[in-house]
Chains A and B, each alone.
Chain A
Amino acid sequence: MKSLEDLKRIREQAQAQIRLRTQEANTKIIVGMGTCGIAAGARETLMAILDELAKRNIQDVVVTQTGCVGLCEYEPLVNVVKPGQPKITYMKVTPERARQIVASHIVNDQVVNEWVLSTEEGV
Chain B
Amino acid sequence: MMEELSLHILDIVENSINAKATRVDIEVDINKEENLITIKVTDNGKGMDEKTLENVKDPFFTTKTTRKVGLGVSFLDEIAQLTGGSLDIESKLGIGTTIKLKLPIDHPDRPPLGDIVSTLITLLATNPCVWIVYRETRNGKSWEFNSKEVEELLGDYAWLGKIKEVLYNSYKEFTGGELI
Contacts and interface: CB of A to CB of B under 8 A. Distances in A.
A7 B161 contact: no
A10 B166 contact: yes
A30 to B, nearest CB: 9
Interface residues on chain B, size class: 35 or more
Contacts of A70: 66-67
Nearest to B6: A43
Interface in A49-106: 50-51, 53-54, 57-59, 61, 63-65, 67-70, 72
Interface in B143-168: 143-146, 149-150, 152-164, 166-167
Contacts of B164: 50
A61 B156 CA distance: 10
Contact of A67 (B2, B14, B75, B128): B14
Given A4-B149, A34-B14, A70-B66, A43 B119 contact: yes
B149 A7 contact: yes
Chief secondary structure at chain B's binding surface: helix
Contact of A10 (B64, B75, B146, B163): B163
Nearest to B150: A7
Contacts, number: 121
Contacts of B11: 35, 38
Interface in B62-89: 64, 66-67, 70-72, 75
B71 A46 contact: no
Interface of B: 2, 7, 10-11, 14, 17-18, 64, 66-67, 70-72, 75, 115, 118-119, 121-122, 125-128, 143-146, 149-150, 152-164, 166-167, 170-171, 173
24 contacts: A2-B170, A2-B173, A3-B144, A3-B145, A3-B167, A3-B171, A4-B144, A4-B149, A6-B170, A10-B162, A14-B153, A33-B14, A34-B14, A35-B72, A38-B14, A50-B160, A53-B157, A57-B157, A58-B157, A59-B156, A65-B17, A65-B126, A69-B66, A70-B66
Interface of A: 1-4, 6-8, 10-11, 14-15, 18-21, 31, 33-36, 38-39, 43-44, 46-47, 50-51, 53-54, 57-59, 61, 63-65, 67-70, 72
